[in-house]
Amino acid sequence: MKRNSIHRNGERHRGGKREGSALILAVVSVVVLLGMAAALLRIGMASKKEHLSATDRMKSLYIAEAGLAQGVTSVINGAVPPIGTVGTPVSFSNGTYWGTSVADATNHTTTVTVYGTSRGITRGMEAVVKQASESIYSNAVFAGNSSGNSAYQMKFGGTGTQADQIGGNIYSGGNIAISGNARIAGTARAAGTISGGTGETGQTQPSPNLQAMDYEHHNDVNVGAQFANGTARYQNSSSYGGSAYQLPETNPAHIFRKNPSDRATNINSTSKDDYFLEDVYEAINTSSRVDRTQGSHITISGVGGEPGANGNNLLYYIDGNLWIHNMNAYSFTLWNSTGTPIHLTFVVKGNIYISDNIFYNQANQDGLAMIAMKDPSVSDSGNIYFGDPDPWIREAALFSVGEATGDLLNALEDSGKPWPQREQFLPSLAELIGRQNRPEEVQRVIRLAVPLNVITASLYARFASRQDDSPAMKAVAALRNQFGGHAVKKD
């Protein structure tokens, strides 16, 4: 009995050992699993933290970039960058940015530095904005002085209502002389000196090679070819004056009349055909009031309900002379009934003569460029002449590869408008290349007995234009009135 009892107790003891080993193994396994879970949790938390940190670093960079873009845009526009300060940062996209702007007048640069912060992480970005060198595209009047004459002067003068007024930047490849009541509402720059006013000297700007642009073959409307295609008719217009060749209203070149008979003196003085800017399909306005609302309309085909193909945003090429000169009208206005911006370019292989006013109906949107090019076969070509007696051109772009002779513009405003449609062929700012008439030039040609009639006459016309009250001009005006000229206003 005792053996049996002893045997059974031994079996129970060995069974208890096996149960204890299993419990220990289970506990160890749980501990290992908990350790692995804790390790995985720590790894996950670290990964999440690293991810959030990377996101915040990238976000702070984006915020800094946004602030930098704002700062650079403001600098380019000439404004103070609204980029905040370290004490008062600018809130942006659940973060903030602040920065500094430092101008360097010597190097013509502005350094903009901006710091962006997101969830306590800050990153910075910096940009150096350099002032672009001025070019022909930023000038209202550009005189390249292609002859390289160191004595050349771009002159502005006059008193009272005869004083020259320029609304925009000017550039002279020689010198600039400002006198009287002349006013330059812009920056004057010259390769030489500036007298009578302030500006920047020692500046050089290249002149465009207009001949190389080959306008004769790169144009939208060849005006001479349109008049030669058989659709032009020789018709009389009692309002616009005389008989002239005219095109149908549907033709984009209908805004020109060719060789009108009432201006025989003008057309007989030139060796090429003469085209006068006037739209006979619109009623003439004979008001002497200098205002865009009082100008005779120049309407563009295909715009604002006008018949014909679209004549807007086109380059018109004229192998001849262009005149803005009418015996009955004082002013012309680019006009359409829908307010569509008008952009026109007249390239003239000859001279441009301006004696009447040209206005935009929409001063901030319309654009006009006139380019006078030299014709190698005609000595008197590539010039822009002003006179009779006060030409006003508002916001027009003028180019000349020859001489600009006569009194300067009375008003030439805001001409630097880029025209993307004509970028490949057309500069869109003014150029008056060559030398102005000067007393010393006239004295020199008199000594040499050279008959330069136009330069001599234009010099005297300049002297006359500076008179506030000219009895001689009053007498001439009265005579012109007797022979069908402009009416005389009696005080």
Of 135 and 421, which is predicted with more confidence? 135
- Residue 416 domain flag: yes
Strands 367-373 and 396-400: parallel
Q: Please tell me whether residues 111 and 254 are part of one structural domain.
A: no
Question: Which pLDDT value is given to residue 390?
Answer: 37
Which residues are registered as beta bridge partners of 70?
A: none
Of 393 and 160, which is predicted with more confidence? 160
- Cβ atoms within 10 Å of 151's Cβ, excluding its own: 12
Which residue range forms the structural domain that includes residue 261? 136-482
Q: What are phi and psi of 411, to 5 degrees?
A: -150, 115
Q: What are phi and psi of 90, to 5 degrees?
A: -95, 125
pLDDT digits (tens, 9 = 90+) for 332-366: 999 988 989 999 999 999 998 888 888 888 888 88
Write out the two tokens for 31: 């501990």
Domain boundary among 131, 154, 182: 131
Res 239 pLDDT > 60 = yes
pLDDT band at 97 (very low <50, low <70, confident <90, very high): very high
pLDDT digits (tens, 9 = 90+) for 374-410: 888 998 887 777 654 333 333 344 544 443 333 233 2
Q: Please tell me whether residues 289 and 212 are part of one structural domain.
A: yes
Res 478 pLDDT > 90 = no
- Residue 31 domain flag: no
For the chain, the domain total comes to 2
Question: Which pLDDT value is given to residue 431?
Answer: 31
pLDDT band at 419 (very low <50, low <70, confident <90, very high): very low
Q: Which of 12-21, 101-110, 343-352 has the lowest mean pLDDT?
A: 12-21
Q: Please tell me whether residues 363 and 240 are part of one structural domain.
A: yes
Res 480 pLDDT > 80 = no
Contacts of 247 (CB under 8 A, 6+ apart): 226, 227, 231, 232, 253, 254, 256
Q: Please tell me whether residues 80 and 216 are part of one structural domain.
A: no
Q: Please tell me whether residues 323 and 471 are part of one structural domain.
A: yes
Q: Which of 193-197, 275-279, 341-345, 442-446 has the lowest mean pLDDT?
A: 442-446
Distance CA 174, CA 193 (A): 7
Task: Confirm if 192 and 148 have CB atoms less than 8 A apart.
Answer: no
Distance CA 113, CA 127 (A): 7
- Residue 340 domain flag: yes
Phi-psi region for residue 119, left (φ > 0), alpha (ψ -120 to 50) or beta? left
Q: Please tell me whether residues 242 and 99 are part of one structural domain.
A: no
Closest CA to 221 of 352, 317, 342: 317
Which residues are registered as beta bridge partners of 170?
A: 141, 188
State if pTM tops 0.75.
Answer: no
- Residue 43 domain flag: no
Contacts of 142 (CB under 8 A, 6+ apart): 136, 170, 171, 205, 207, 399, 429, 430, 431, 432, 433
Q: Please tell me whether residues 190 and 68 are part of one structural domain.
A: no
Domain boundary among 131, 162, 177: 131
Distance CA 487, CA 491 (A): 13
- Residue 48 domain flag: no
Question: Which pLDDT value is given to residue 268?
Answer: 93
Mean pLDDT of the region 316-338:
93
Question: Which pLDDT value is given to residue 224?
Answer: 97
Res 417 pLDDT > 60 = no
- Residue 324 domain flag: yes
Q: Please tell me whether residues 140 and 127 are part of one structural domain.
A: no
- Residue 67 domain flag: yes
Domain boundary among 131, 157, 172: 131
Task: Confirm if 388 and 413 have CB atoms less than 8 A apart.
Answer: no
Distance CA 340, CA 357 (A): 21
Mean pLDDT of the region 196-215:
83
Res 9 pLDDT > 60 = no
User: For the chain, what is the HEC assignment?
Assistant: CHHHHHHHHHHHHHHHHHHHHHHHHHHHHHHHHHHHHHHHHHHHHHHHHHHHHHHHHHHHHHHHHHHHHHHHHHHHCCCCCCCCCCCCCEEECCEEEEEEEEEECCCCEEEEEEEEEECCEEEEEEEEEECCCCCHHHCCEEECCCCCCCCCEEEECCCHHHCCEEECCEEECCEEEECCCCEECCCEEECCCEECCCCEECCCCCCCCCHHHCCCCCCCEEHHHHHCCCCCEEEECCCCCCEEEECCCCCHHHHEEECCHHHHHHHCCCCCCEEEECCCCCCCCCCCCCCHHHCEEEECCCCCCCCCCCCCCEEEEECCEEEECCCCCCEEEEECCCCCCCEEEEEEECCEEECCEEEECCCCCCEEEEEEECCCCCCCCCCEEECCCCCCECCEEEEECCCEEECCCCCEECCCCCCHHHCCCCCCCCEECCCCCCHHHHHHHHHHCCCCHHHHHHHHHHHHHCCCCCHHHHHHHHHHHHCCCCCCCCC
Question: Which pLDDT value is given to residue 243?
Answer: 96
Task: Confirm if 253 and 227 have CB atoms less than 8 A apart.
Answer: yes
Res 434 pLDDT > 60 = no
Q: What percent of the chain has pLDDT over 70?
A: 69
Q: What percent of the chain has pLDDT over 90?
A: 30
Res 222 pLDDT > 80 = yes
- Cβ atoms within 10 Å of 243's Cβ, excluding its own: 15
Question: Which pLDDT value is given to residue 161?
Answer: 59
- Cβ atoms within 10 Å of 188's Cβ, excluding its own: 23
Of 478 and 40, which is predicted with more confidence? 40
Distance CA 362, CA 367 (A): 9
Distance CA 318, CA 257 (A): 12
pLDDT band at 439 (very low <50, low <70, confident <90, very high): low
Q: Please tell me whether residues 191 and 115 are part of one structural domain.
A: no
- Residue 15 domain flag: no
